[in-house]
Amino acid sequence: MSGQLSVIGLGPGDLAAMTAEAGSALKTAHAIYGYAGYLDRLAPQSGQRRFASGNGEEEARAAAALAHAAAGADVALVSGGDPGVFAMAAAVCEQIDTGPEAWRALKVTIVPGVTAMLAVAARVGAPLGHDFCAVSLSDNLKPWSVVERRLDAAAAAGFVLALYNPISRARPWQLGVAVERLRRHLPETTPVVFGRAIGRPDERVIVTTLQAADPAAADMATLIIVGCAQTRLVTRADQAPLVYTPRSFAPVSG
Amino acid sequence: MSGQLSVIGLGPGDLAAMTAEAGSALKTAHAIYGYAGYLDRLAPQSGQRRFASGNGEEEARAAAALAHAAAGADVALVSGGDPGVFAMAAAVCEQIDTGPEAWRALKVTIVPGVTAMLAVAARVGAPLGHDFCAVSLSDNLKPWSVVERRLDAAAAAGFVLALYNPISRARPWQLGVAVERLRRHLPETTPVVFGRAIGRPDERVIVTTLQAADPAAADMATLIIVGCAQTRLVTRADQAPLVYTPRSFAPVSG
């Protein structure tokens, strides 16, 4: 019997934002591996074993799921959002690249999902409506100087920025430094969006400006979108404003 | 009676890659607007009117859907992939920004979906496993010089690139020029992925290198991922290679 591994994107939090394909892959699995917080979202299913692990244990989790699949089981490994964006798919590929030869023979399926920047963008309008970059502010696995160089390059070239992993207990100052740095490139009025837990009871979305953006408003689960010079706000009487980046490069008049 | 507009992402093509939330919004709509090719994917539903339009008619389509919703209907406007990524959500926001005051009072919901770069990335591994940019190669709405400046900035700063709208009958040379330009910044062996119609019968995925990348392999529906210097290929005996970008900045040995 030959096993297989599915690396599954659960979407931003509300399971209604998960794809049908992801739901099917979860149902047929003998075992599910994942960060405890993600496993808690899934209804238990008889005959299905669960292996919860903590944040920061990505390597060990990927290796354990691969070893289990190599032993013949149909194994699911879940990620929040999309597994390919700052999540488990790269960790699995790294383990296959450097692990036992048998892991290269395994059938591995990546099931995409709605990543956080798409969910946050959808809540406020279309801030990613034109060219954009996704940058992780974590300097656990890359030097901070690389983060700064990328922020500078992206903002100077007019990309909208989606900032993942903005802050954590172990990385308390990086977001503040990043915001300071972006202020050198962009107008004070540039729209900034903080979004977390989209679709969940603790959802919170803040629309502010680069000048007023407060790093303390972010936590580990927050995704931040920083607009470009063209990004616009549309005020509405009884609703939150829309934030969008026009499809054309020239600023929309008004 | 007050109408509403839902701007819905259908995902990459196979409806199994659509979210449950998108499916529900489609079911309750009185009318569905969209590019004819997207409407054709949806099963007809009695009592639901359909308004198909051609490619390039985004403004008129957005305005028509808004006008219909303002008249009191529950209207759906569908997009391939995610509506917020080079798709209909920005067109709708533009129309609300510049259109009749009544449109600002409408309830507008954006339902996110799996955008093409996530679907293509999932098919080959995790090429977007680290910082990346999404760039539209279309110079219909922005000067080509802006596209070039962004490609240069992104590649020089080490971002992986997802290229949307790479080519069309009216834009035959842009992709070739873009690839030439990226060759100045990146090693010849940099992995490049061409992917189209993921999950559909005419799906095609090509894994190649920057040196060998052939613009003629792309069509209007193709999404191209160009790796960075760290992006790696994992060869496998009886399967296609995996392509991934490690989570850490230093190149993985091997």
Give contacts of B14 with chain A, Cβ < 8 Å: 21
Q: What pLDDT score was predicted for residue B1?
A: 55
User: Which among B58, B105, B122 is the nearest to A110, CB-wise?
Assistant: B122
Is B16:A113 a contact under the CB 8 Å cutoff?
Answer: no
Query: Which of A104, A114, A149, A159 is the best substitution to test chain B (most B C-beta atoms within 10 A)?
Result: A114
Is A64:A94 a contact under the CB 8 Å cutoff?
Answer: no
User: Which among A85, A247, A249 is the nearest to B128, CB-wise?
Assistant: A85
Nearest CA-CA distance, residue A142 and chain B, Å = 5
Nearest CA-CA distance, residue B212 and chain A, Å = 23
Q: Is the pLDDT of residue A251 over 70?
A: no
Nearest of B241, B136, B154 to residue A150 by alpha carbon: B154
Give contacts of A127 with chain B, Cβ < 8 Å: 84
Give contacts of A239 with chain B, Cβ < 8 Å: 104-105, 107
Please determine, for the modelled complex, whether the ipTM score is greater than 0.95.
yes
Nearest of A220, A178, A173 to residue A197 by alpha carbon: A220
Q: Which of A108-122, A131-145, A166-180, B239-253 has the lowest mean pLDDT?
A: B239-253
Nearest CA-CA distance, residue A96 and chain B, Å = 8
Q: In what order do the strands lie in the sheet with A49-53?
A: A49-53, A31-35, A74-79, A4-9, A107-111
Nearest of A196, A159, A185, A137 to residue A14 by alpha carbon: A196
CA distances from A214 to A126, A208, B240 (A): 22, 9, 46
Give contacts of A133 with chain B, Cβ < 8 Å: 131-134, 154, 159
pLDDT tens digits along A1-54: 579 999 999 999 889 999 999 999 999 999 999 999 999 999 989 999 999 999
Taking CA atoms, what residue in B is nearest to A254?
Answer: B98
Q: What pLDDT score was predicted for residue A1?
A: 54
Q: Is the pLDDT of residue A252 over 80?
A: no
Rg of chain B (C-alpha set): 20
What is the C-alpha to C-alpha distance for residues A8 and B182, in angstroms, rounded to an integer?
A: 32
How confident is the model over A91-98, as a mean pLDDT?
Answer: 98
pLDDT tens digits along A148-167: 999 999 999 999 999 999 99
Residues 198-237 of B with CB under 8 A from A: 232, 234-237
Taking CA atoms, what residue in B is nearest to A243?
Answer: B93
What is the C-alpha to C-alpha distance for residues B38 and A149, in angstroms, rounded to an integer?
A: 40
What average pLDDT does the structure give for chain A?
95
pLDDT level of residue A254 (50, 70, 90 thresholds)? very low
Nearest CA-CA distance, residue B59 and chain A, Å = 11
All residue ranges of chain B with pLDDT < 70 are: 1, 251-254
Give contacts of B102 with chain A, Cβ < 8 Å: none
Place of tokens 């540039």: A190
What is the C-alpha to C-alpha distance for residues B165 and B138, in angstroms, rounded to an integer?
A: 6
Nearest CA-CA distance, residue B154 and chain A, Å = 7
| Residue B228, both tokens | 């960075």
